[in-house]
């Protein structure tokens, strides 16, 4: 039996080396600056909590995906967070319960899961996002979607697109327009998920078939959705989607997939997914929801970004920053002045230190950096 190599990292965990770490710093700062600018206050919950505390506010998030362990101090189970959202809900519902609503909070940090997924084996990911607590109206949705887009753009994303969905669509239609027996609802949802028109008819959901075609480019799809005769049951939702699209005014490419539920099982009337050109998979998602756990069940609107794919893209496009080599005996005041105007400096520590070997683009000659 050979000794395990102590230098190996566990599967799904990685070091970010200088190039990617620099891109990480820049992307995370840019996203946070946009959220801050729109009045979202950052909060910093701990990396670990009691498992029950996270689980109680994690409707629909699989707590079996969390790293869990016994706290030697309390002998209770703790978990590493796999999502910031329940922590933000806890803070809003406890220490900030008396703060004025709507309450704007944001967060940025790592989340960990015991397993990656098929597309992305990472078990540690960055997550940042904003939550607007106490509001889930059209104005709240407009703001949250706009802030998400602006944050991604500021972080370097190009060709951003937003795919809207109406997570409670089937419930709404079943109640107000196209009645279904309780046992039919789940079958209709399932057939819509698989986009199977024949299956929908078999499940007694013939009236729901046109929903399968009200997808794609927003303007076209919303017309098709509006054409579905539902006795006005969808009128307010359609008006809301149009208001949001109008408010975004071309900031992103918009699409609609009104019956999409994957990932939106706990959203209320609105869900959206964010994409950008050249970034595989989703960059984030959001929507309106009701905070799970203790009592109140406040309404909220928010988004979560998973910027790792964007960070990789930004890092690829990066040329290293200029830096100036400071020879032995350089003038320290000159070096300090250069740093104060944005230069990076790399000081020689011995005769053998060389500017080029250390990756410098310039060398200090007298009081000026000279390009190598």
Nearer to a copy of itself, 15 or 181 (CB): 15
Of 38-57, binders to a copy of itself (CB under 8 A) are: 38-39, 41-50, 52-53, 56-57
CB 265 within 8 A of CB 289: no
Six-digit token pair at 341?
A: 């105007």
Nearer to a copy of itself, 206 or 367 (CB): 367
Of 317-356, binders to a copy of itself (CB under 8 A) are: 323, 328, 339, 343-350, 353
Cα(264)–Cα(241) distance, integer angstroms: 17
Size of the site for a copy of itself (CB under 8 A): 89
Of 90-119, binders to a copy of itself (CB under 8 A) are: 90-91, 93-96, 100, 102, 104-105, 110, 112, 114-115
DSSP-derived 3-state class of residue 245: helix
Query: How near is the Cβ of 202 to a copy of itself at its closest, in Å?
Result: 40
Nearer to a copy of itself, 45 or 199 (CB): 45
Nearer to a copy of itself, 47 or 187 (CB): 47
Of 147-176, binders to a copy of itself (CB under 8 A) are: none
Q: Is the dihedral of CA 262, 264, 269, 271 positive or negative?
A: negative
Cross-strand bridge partners of residue 367: none
Nearer to a copy of itself, 42 or 253 (CB): 42
Of 185-244, binders to a copy of itself (CB under 8 A) are: none
Cross-strand bridge partners of residue 274: 162, 284
Encode burial over 136-170: b for 16+ CB neighbours within 10 A, e otherwise.
Answer: bebebbbbbbbbbbbbbbbbbbeebbbbbbbbbbb
Nearer to a copy of itself, 90 or 189 (CB): 90
Cα(77)–Cα(87) distance, integer angstroms: 17
Cα(302)–Cα(318) distance, integer angstroms: 31
**71 annotated as belonging to a binding site for a ligand:** no
Query: How near is the Cβ of 253 to a copy of itself at its closest, in Å?
Result: 20
Computed on alpha carbons and rounded to an integer, the radius of gyration of the chain in Å comes to 25
Q: Out of 1, 73, 98, 119, point to the residue binding a copy of itself (CB under 8 A).
A: 73
171 HSE (CA, 13 A, CB side): 8
**83 annotated as belonging to a binding site for a ligand:** yes
244 contact partners, CB below 8 Å, separation of at least 6: 138, 141, 142, 145, 164, 270
Query: How near is the Cβ of 69 to a copy of itself at its closest, in Å?
Result: 4
Q: Out of 6, 183, 194, 319, point to the residue binding a copy of itself (CB under 8 A).
A: 6
Six-digit token pair at 224?
A: 């098709």
Which of 286, 292, 307, 297 lies closest to 141 in space, CA to CA? 286
- Per CB under 8 A, the segment of 34-42, 165-173, 193-201, 273-281 that binds a copy of itself is 34-42
DSSP string, 168-204: THHHHHHHHTS---HHHHHHHHHHHHTT-HHHHHHTT
**131 annotated as belonging to a binding site for a ligand:** yes
Query: How near is the Cβ of 190 to a copy of itself at its closest, in Å?
Result: 30
Query: How near is the Cβ of 103 to a copy of itself at its closest, in Å?
Result: 9
Six-digit token pair at 357?
A: 């070997």
Query: How near is the Cβ of 99 to a copy of itself at its closest, in Å?
Result: 9
Six-digit token pair at 133?
A: 């607590």
Of 285-314, binders to a copy of itself (CB under 8 A) are: 293-294
Q: Out of 60, 71, 262, 280, point to the residue binding a copy of itself (CB under 8 A).
A: 71
Query: How near is the Cβ of 369 to a copy of itself at its closest, in Å?
Result: 13
Known binding residues = 83-85, 127, 131
Residues annotated within a binding site for L-histidine: 83-85, 127, 131
């Amino acid at each position: 039996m050979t000794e395990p190599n102590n230098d190996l990292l566990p599967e799904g965990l990685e070091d970010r080396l200088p190039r990617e770490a620099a891109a990480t710093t820049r992307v995370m700062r840019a996203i946070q600056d946009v959220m801050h600018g729109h009045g979202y206050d950052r909060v910093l919950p701990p990396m670990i909590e009691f498992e029950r505390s996270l689980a109680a506010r994690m409707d629909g998030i699989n707590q079996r995906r969390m790293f869990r362990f016994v706290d030697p101090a309390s002998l209770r189970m703790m978990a590493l967070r796999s999502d910031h959202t329940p922590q933000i809900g806890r803070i809003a519902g406890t220490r900030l319960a008396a703060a004025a609503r709507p309450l704007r909070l944001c967060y940025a940090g790592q989340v960990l899961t015991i397993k990656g997924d098929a597309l992305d084996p990472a078990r540690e990911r960055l997550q940042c996002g904003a939550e607007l607590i106490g509001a889930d109206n059209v104005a709240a949705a407009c703001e949250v979607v706009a802030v998400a887009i602006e944050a991604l753009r500021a972080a370097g994303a190009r060709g951003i697109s937003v795919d809207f969905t109406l997570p409670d669509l089937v419930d709404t239609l079943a109640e107000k327009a196209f009645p279904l027996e309780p046992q039919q609802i789940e079958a209709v949802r399932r057939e819509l998920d698989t986009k199977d028109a024949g299956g929908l008819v078999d499940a007694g959901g013939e009236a729901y078939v046109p929903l399968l075609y009200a997808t794609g480019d927003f303007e076209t799809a919303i017309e098709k959705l509006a054409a579905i005769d539902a006795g006005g049951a969808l009128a307010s939702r359609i008006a809301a989607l149009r208001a949001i699209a109008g408010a975004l005014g071309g900031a992103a490419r918009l699409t609609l997939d009104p019956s999409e539920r994957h990932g939106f099982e706990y959203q209320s009337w609105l869900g959206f997914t964010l994409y950008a050109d050249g970034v595989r998979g989703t960059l984030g998602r959001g929507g309106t929801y009701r905070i799970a756990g203790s009592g109140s069940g406040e309404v909220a609107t928010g988004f979560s970004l998973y910027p790792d794919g964007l960070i990789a893209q930004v890092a690829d496009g990066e040329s290293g920053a200029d830096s100036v080599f400071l020879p032995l005996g350089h003038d320290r005041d000159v070096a300090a002045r250069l740093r104060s105007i944005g230069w990076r400096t790399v000081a020689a520590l011995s005769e053998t230190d060389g500017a080029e070997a250390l990756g410098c683009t310039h060398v200090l000659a007298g009081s000026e950096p000279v390009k190598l």
